[in-house]
Chain A
Amino acid sequence: MTALLWTLAKVGAALGFGMNWAAFLGWVERKQSAVMQDRIGANRADILGLRVIGLFHIIADPIKLFTKEDFVPAGVRPAFHAMAPAVSLGFPLLALAAFPYGGTVEFLGRSWSLQPVESPVGLVLVLAMVAMGIHGVVMAGYASNSYYGLLGGLRGASQMIAYEVCLAATLAGALFLYGSLDLAEAVAWQTRMIAGVVPAWGAVLQPVGFVLFLVAGTALTKRTPFDLPEGESEIVGYHVEYSGMKFGMFMMTDLIESVVVACLAATLFLGGWHVPFLPVDAFSALGPMLAGPAMACVMVASFTAKVALVLFVLMQVRWTLPRFRFDQLLDLGWKNILPLALANFLLTAWAVYLAKSWGVSPWR
């Protein structure tokens, strides 16, 4: 019973994590682009004259989206038209339940895991959920009764298929090191140290894989420079026939997918919740009642900070690069990232084999 409640609470917290990040990112997106373009950015929403650098736009945006007219054009397929935003947003949100937001802490004589869904195939779950999200895009394009929408949906489908393959391939090298599809075990593996000074994080041991993963991950989120399904200046895209909060849900999907990619990067390449040089029993001096919760807070904070860092970089990339052409996009995926990722995987496998056969392991 406690286990069930704890799991439900954790899943709820994971969904909240995603939704709050998405709302916050809406603000970050505007402000970060503004500051780097010598502008000020949205700063008009105020409560009783209080503006707090435009933070109230986080509240103002959804109010606006919810109160706008939800216009359904004539000729759409109503069931699919209504379902598409939910499909698009729902699956990436579910993926967030599979991440280890922290390790295991001792509290009240029990050990509590901070991973909502403790699955031995957590990574497959995440990739599957992200891949399912594409159905929302295709469904929206198909249901819209609009050529632009359909084109956007088709572009989205071919882009996601290409980069879904690439994403898995870029992760292969790291997974070969960790020897498990369990995300918690991947983090546990990364808590060791190389020669006692450098944390054995994926980004250190798999730099090529990390960079390729970030590129493929950005492509998967359908954001600039890979925003071809919704290229505003050419076809507007799969959500051209949507308005109000349904449109807002598509916008949120992109942000949630960014969060998922950032969580993946943090978990597999940046050591997840691991804080270097912080021993597991660092807080045992606080006594049994406080040590566990304190450790849990530090773990979650560390994970969140890493996610924030990746999101910051992704956001900066989004506001720096122009959009690719579609043939360039597919070339980049199939002809460049995929071979490089496979080469990276083969090299990793060879190195691990040599290390095993010589009986050395540089990390302890």
Chain B
Amino acid sequence: MAVTVRPVTRPERDLAVQVYIVEVLKGLGVTFRHFFVNLGRHAAALAGVKAAPGAVTIQYPEDPPALGGRARTRHRILRRSDGSPRCTACLLCETICPARCIRITAEDSPAVVIEKRAKTFEIDLGLCVFCGNCVEACPVDAIRMDTGDLDIPAMDRRSMIWDLEKLMRDG
């Protein structure tokens, strides 16, 4: 097989670029323009005049961001019509989880048509990378990541682990 070579020419630097002073002034022009335009917009906002926003900052807890419809947020476990968790403890989510943060223990289910159910179901949200693989893997659509809840931080690692009861709260 013939080797194809694509010659890459080095970008030419003319004297004006090489001296750098002009380039520095250009850069300063950009930053100064941003500075004064934004300053003007902030001042206008303070004075109550309508103007374009001077910053794109999201003030997080007070003014939460609008999430996309498919955003992966905190998990929940869905319920059946009788209120019991849909999970059949097949362990597919535990197996696929790249962060290995799901821990399930199974037990026999009292219902005849369903073989197993989860005795305990824990997700360590401190380890979870929010990849959504668990949702994709679940054969019975028992776990979803559509709560829109991002407010999961806790003061210690232990409280970052959510058990079945907590996960079913908004199931």
Given that A35-B38, A35-B39 are contacting pairs, would A320 and B31 also be in contact in the complex, using a CB cutoff of 8 Å?
A: yes
List of B residues within 8 angstroms of A317 by Cβ: 24, 28
Chain A, 21-41, contact with B by CB distance < 8 Å: what is the 0/1 string? 000000000001011111110
Residues of chain B at interface, number, CB under 8 A: 17
List of B residues within 8 angstroms of A48 by Cβ: none
Chain A stretch 264-320: residues in CB contact (< 8 A) with chain B: 316-317, 319-320
List of A residues within 8 angstroms of B30 by Cβ: 320
Given that A321-B24, A321-B27 are contacting pairs, would A316 and B35 also be in contact in the complex, using a CB cutoff of 8 Å?
A: yes
Contact B57 A40 (CB under 8 A): yes
**With A and B bound together, what is the CA distance between A35 and B32 in angstroms?**
10
B56 contacts chain A at the CB level, 8 A cutoff: yes
Contact B34 A38 (CB under 8 A): yes
List of A residues within 8 angstroms of B57 by Cβ: 39-40
Residues of chain A at interface, number, CB under 8 A: 14
Contact B38 A36 (CB under 8 A): yes
Distance to closest chain A CB from B43 (angstroms): 11
**With A and B bound together, what is the CA distance between A317 and B26 in angstroms?**
11
Contact B55 A39 (CB under 8 A): yes
Distance to closest chain A CB from B159 (angstroms): 24
**With A and B bound together, what is the CA distance between A39 and B38 in angstroms?**
9
Which of A36, A40, A211, A321 is within 8 Å of B34, CB to CB? A36
B126 contacts chain A at the CB level, 8 A cutoff: no
Distance to closest chain A CB from B42 (angstroms): 7
List of B residues within 8 angstroms of A35 by Cβ: 34-35, 38-39, 42, 54-55
Given that A35-B42, A36-B38 are contacting pairs, would A316 and B54 also be in contact in the complex, using a CB cutoff of 8 Å?
A: no
Which of B21, B56, B59 is within 8 Å of A38, CB to CB? B56
**With A and B bound together, what is the CA distance between A321 and B31 in angstroms?**
10
**With A and B bound together, what is the CA distance between A320 and B55 in angstroms?**
18
* B35: nearest chain-A partner, CB-CB: A36
**With A and B bound together, what is the CA distance between A125 and B93 in angstroms?**
71
List of B residues within 8 angstroms of A39 by Cβ: 55-57
Distance to closest chain B CB from A109 (angstroms): 47
**With A and B bound together, what is the CA distance between A34 and B31 in angstroms?**
11
Contact B54 A38 (CB under 8 A): yes
Distance to closest chain B CB from A336 (angstroms): 9
Distance to closest chain A CB from B24 (angstroms): 6
Distance to closest chain B CB from A314 (angstroms): 11
Chain A stretch 177-236: residues in CB contact (< 8 A) with chain B: 211
List of A residues within 8 angstroms of B31 by Cβ: 36, 316, 319-320
Distance to closest chain B CB from A224 (angstroms): 13
Which of A38, A40, A320 is within 8 Å of B28, CB to CB? A320
**With A and B bound together, what is the CA distance between A319 and B38 in angstroms?**
16
Chain B stretch 48-75: residues in CB contact (< 8 A) with chain A: 54-57, 59
**With A and B bound together, what is the CA distance between A32 and B42 in angstroms?**
13
**With A and B bound together, what is the CA distance between A39 and B39 in angstroms?**
11
**With A and B bound together, what is the CA distance between A37 and B21 in angstroms?**
22
List of B residues within 8 angstroms of A37 by Cβ: 34
List of A residues within 8 angstroms of B27 by Cβ: 320-321
**With A and B bound together, what is the CA distance between A51 and B36 in angstroms?**
22
Most buried by A among B24, B28, B31, B55: B31
List of A residues within 8 angstroms of B39 by Cβ: 35
**With A and B bound together, what is the CA distance between A320 and B26 in angstroms?**
10
List of A residues within 8 angstroms of B32 by Cβ: 36, 316
**With A and B bound together, what is the CA distance between A254 and B56 in angstroms?**
30
**With A and B bound together, what is the CA distance between A211 and B20 in angstroms?**
13
Chain B, 88-126, contact with A by CB distance < 8 Å: what is the 0/1 string? 000000000000000000000000000000000000000
User: Can you list 17 A-B pairs, Cβ within 8 angstroms, ordered by A?
Assistant: A35-B34, A35-B38, A35-B55, A36-B32, A36-B35, A38-B34, A39-B55, A39-B57, A40-B55, A40-B57, A40-B59, A316-B35, A319-B31, A320-B27, A320-B30, A320-B31, A321-B27
List the 8 closest pairs (A to B, CB-CB), nearest first: A36-B35, A40-B57, A320-B31, A40-B55, A36-B34, A320-B27, A36-B31, A35-B38
A: residues with CB less than 8 A from B are 32, 34-40, 211, 316-317, 319-321
